Amino acid sequence: MKQYNFDEMIDRHGTNAIKVDMLKELFGKEDLIPLWVADMDFRTPDFIINAIQERCKHEIFGYTSAPDNYFESIINWVDYKYHWKVEQEWINYIPGIVKGIGMALDCFTQPGDKVIIQPPVYHPFRLIPEGMKREVVYNPLRLTAEGYEMDFEQLESIIDKECKVFILCNPHNPGGIVWSKETLVRLAEICAKNHILVISDEIHSEMAYPQHKHHPFATVSETASSCALTFMAPSKTFNIAGIVTSYSIIPDREIREQFYTYLEARGMGEGTIFAYTATTAAYTYGAEWLQQMRMYIMENVRYVEKFIQTNIPQIKVYLPQASFLIWLDCRELQLSQEALVRFFVDKAGLALNDGSMFGSGGEGYMRLNIGCPRAVLEQAMNALQKAMKKK
């Protein structure tokens, strides 16, 4: 069995990588440890690179249809990961999940319709509908001693006939929550009863830790299946976001026909050569790499948790149940949000995501990306500790 090296240090400067080449523009400084944008600093696995290189040998990159093994790889992978038996006609390429959300809103809603989101949550969930002149309705997550949970009483109180879509983050970003089946079943019942379509962004699902079972929203009940539009991708998991490998799975015939007709009419449902190639390779050969990567990430989580508990107890670590993002509660530092961001940038030399960008409930928080070699995390934590001593 091949052992992959996640300790390898790779310089990404000069590759137009947003994570490093946009630091000066967005943070005002270049000499920062970049722990923000949600991609990883690990080398893209060899089986994906090899598949792309093999395809490049043909040296003609003309108009390309989706090969059968592309669909087969998705069907087999989804069955392997979630025991979800999907059919080929349910699947369609989409040019990115954020773009897919915009397309779904354009397809199923009109300006003035209401879209429900649950902050703190991935910020395009708010920005996309706002930019499309939809009204965003907030059902904030409820913070308990055990972590975040959905507030169903609040949700039912804010729903009216103008509410057309609920955008679900499953698993949740930035909280790292793998939603329970019971939670998703109840959400489905409320949304179906009120004729609300659920767009389920499941891009982090493949990275749920072994002790936490991810449930695709559409699988938790027949009711959920009847109102679900699921978006998935290998892009986060295998660090290929720049290739754009997203796809949708829609079991319900009426929703599927409406959305896929929309995509076809606009020429937006066809993938690229390398999207098909990379997805097929990832899902055919990627199980062992994913297992090793998750184990490495989980050790990174443990390292950060222990370091902060021991050396910076004023900051609370919300342990993620999936993916490579950690939600940090910095409220005990008693800084304004602007001062908190500047503390990380100017005092610690770290570029993290400003928690307030995720909406209500994000104030006083920062999001830390730990998808990097441990040596980078050690350097970052030591810099944070040193900055705290001088605070």
Summarize pLDDT for 38-86 with one digit per residue, the tens: 999 999 999 999 999 999 999 999 999 999 999 999 999 999 999 999 9
Question: In whole angstroms, what is the distance from residue 339 CA to residue 289 CA?
Answer: 40
Instruction: Please name which of 123, 44, 1, 30 lies closest in space to residue 371, comparing C-alpha atoms.
Output: 44
Instruction: Please name which of 198, 143, 217 lies closest in space to residue 174, comparing C-alpha atoms.
Output: 143
User: What is the structure's pLDDT at 241?
Assistant: 97
First to last CA, the chain: 48
User: What is the structure's pLDDT at 1?
Assistant: 87
Angle, CA 347 vertex, CA 346 and CA 350 arms, to 5°: 70
Question: In whole angstroms, what is the distance from residue 334 CA to residue 298 CA?
Answer: 29
Backbone angles phi, psi at 335, to 5 degrees: -115, 150
Q: Which residues of the chain have pLDDT under 50?
A: none
Instruction: Please name which of 367, 345, 370, 348 lies closest in space to residue 358, comparing C-alpha atoms.
Output: 367
Cis peptide before 34 (omega within 30 of 0): no
User: What is the structure's pLDDT at 146?
Assistant: 87
Only one residue has tokens 């960008």, namely: 357
Cis peptide before 174 (omega within 30 of 0): yes
Cis peptide before 129 (omega within 30 of 0): no
Among left, alpha and beta (phi > 0; psi -120 to 50; other), residue 90 is: alpha
CA distances from 134 to 95, 108, 125, 249, 350 (A): 22, 11, 11, 24, 35
b/e sequence 66-85, b meaning 16+ C-beta within 10 Å? beeebbebbbebbeebbebe
Largest separation between any pair of C-alpha atoms in the chain:
60
- The single-letter code of the amino acid at 187 is L
**DSSP reduced 3-state for 357:** helix
Question: In whole angstroms, what is the distance from residue 209 CA to residue 321 CA?
Answer: 6
- Which residues 6+ apart lie within 8 Å of 324 measured at CB? 38, 40, 207, 297, 300, 369, 370, 371
User: What is the structure's pLDDT at 308?
Assistant: 98
Question: In whole angstroms, what is the distance from residue 237 CA to residue 348 CA?
Answer: 29
Give the global pTM.
Answer: 0.97
User: Please, what are the domains in the chain?
Assistant: 18-45+288-390 (3.90.1150.10), 61-285 (3.40.640.10)
CA distances from 198 to 6, 60, 264 (A): 36, 40, 21
User: What is the structure's pLDDT at 344?
Assistant: 98
